[in-house]
Amino acid sequence: MKIVVIAHRNAKATAEAIEPLLGPEAKKALSMYAQDVIREIYGRADGKGAVLVFEAKDEAEVRARLGELPFAQQGFLDFDVYPLVPYRGIVNAAK
């Protein structure tokens, strides 16, 4: 299942607080990317977080994997998690 996550830095994520974790955060995210757990990863243009596309069996698996990220472990991120399904228009057009 494809699941989109929008990560938002919260008030705890000051520049001073996140700076020491930038390397470990990137390393962990790239490790998940190499494992094909994260299929796509983007920085938000507003600089306030990231957008990730996961491939997982369900939302619970994604939330568990998000908990492995150093920023999440420190409580610096809030997540909006959106499981995706095929677009109905494609299904209906095939009928």
> What is the per-residue pLDDT for 90?
76
pLDDT mean over 73-94: 88
- Structural domains present in the chain: 2-93 (3.30.70.1060)
- For the stretch 9-65, pLDDT in tens is 999 999 999 999 999 999 999 999 999 999 999 999 999 999 999 999 999 999 999
Quote the pTM value: 0.88
Minimal CA–CA distance to 32: which of 6, 56, 10? 56
Minimal CA–CA distance to 80: which of 2, 1, 5? 5
CA distance 77 to 12: 8
Residue 86 banded pLDDT, cuts 50, 70, 90 = confident
